[in-house]
Structure formats: structure tokens, C-alpha cells
Structure 1
């Protein structure tokens, strides 16, 4: 869950709450590593703070593409 606490459009401030149990379940269900799913969830929360939404199919697709791009930047 992500909570945007920004009062100023120029400052990003918020809280991201992640359920480790849910990440573990999702990783198993999706056939990906726990680390990869955790990173995706973290990126997803940051994208919400940056103004991305995922309420409809079009925005979900755009957010998933941005998540994939961010994940591809990892060097480990």
C-alpha cells in the first residue's frame, strides 16, 4: 500500500507498506524469485508516488512496462 504524503508538487514524500507474506505468495504463484517480486512491489509503490496509477487496463499496462524497465536497470 502506498500513501502519498506530499504537500508540495516538487517534493515526493510518502509511505510504502509491503506485506512480506504477500510478496512470498505472489512470487511462488508467479514463478519468480522472492527478490524479484519484492523489487517489483517496491518499484510499484515508488511509481504511485511519482503519479502513476493502475485503476484501469491501460494504466495497468503502462505501469507494468515502467516496472519492467526499472527492473531491467538492476546490475545484480
Structure 2
């Protein structure tokens, strides 16, 4: 089950049902199934506080993913997304906020699938997977 929540922002995810289906299909292609997955849309300040409280990081980020799975092949977790950061990133990249949000939604789920982004090689592989996922989003 994939659920979408707003914490301290008023955000409406475009194409919510299509997005759920897309995320499920891509997860299946990666060899996983989805248990309980929560996307929490929030502000920069909210994500910053989560970063401080749980990760001891003192910086802004667009996404934080918490893996809460109990079974290896069943993805479960909470994914916090700063809608402000996503909008800023989209503007800097010259793309729509909707496209950048898809990338970030995929990014969080790819982390749960085991993909990292700490090294240059990992980041490049993550970007390629994000692009692959985005390219099959239903038009």
C-alpha cells in the first residue's frame, strides 16, 4: 500500500493513482513488492528537523528515506519529501516541478531497493535508474 500525506504543507500530488501504479510496477521490476510505504510531503524546515533529530545532519535536503522493512523482498518505509526543495531544484534544472517530483519519488523508492548515491559511481547509477523509471511513467 502506497500512501501520500501532507505534514505542514498543502500539496496535491498530480496523477496520484497513476503514480501509485507506476511506483508499484517499477518496484516489481526491481524484484520487490511493496508493503506499507508512506510518502510524507512537507516543508524545508520540517525535513531539516527530521534530518537533525534522526540522522544528526544539519542541512536541507529534498528527501529522507527511512527503511522499515521486516522482510527482505517487501519494501516498507517512510519517505519525507520537501516540496519547497523539489520546486527549487526543478527551477534550477529548468524542468517542471511535476517531473522533478517524479524523480524524487523514484529516488526514495530506489534507496529502499538498495541503490545508494554516496559515491560518484553510485550517484550515476541512481540517476540512470531514475531516468529509466521516469521514461516509463504513463503519459
TM score, norm. by length of structure 1: 0.96
**Backbone CA RMSD of aligned residues:** 0.7
Of 62, 71, 76, the match for 2:125: 62
Stretches of structure 1 lacking an aligned partner (at least 5 in a row): none
1:75 CA displacement: 2.2
Runs of 4+ in 1 over 3 A off after TM superposition: none
Bigger share in helix: 1
What residue is the counterpart of 2:83 in the other structure? 20
Q: Deviations over 1:29-75 (max 9, x none)?
A: 11000000000000000000110000000000001000000000012
Stretches of structure 2 lacking an aligned partner (at least 5 in a row): 1-63
Taking the aligned partners of 1:28 and 1:10, their CA distance within structure 2 comes to 36
SS at match of 1:18: strand
1:11 CA displacement: 1.5
Taking the aligned partners of 1:75 and 1:51, their CA distance within structure 2 comes to 25
TM score, norm. by length of structure 2: 0.53
Instruction: Count how many residue pairs are aligned between Structure 1 and Structure 2.
Output: 76
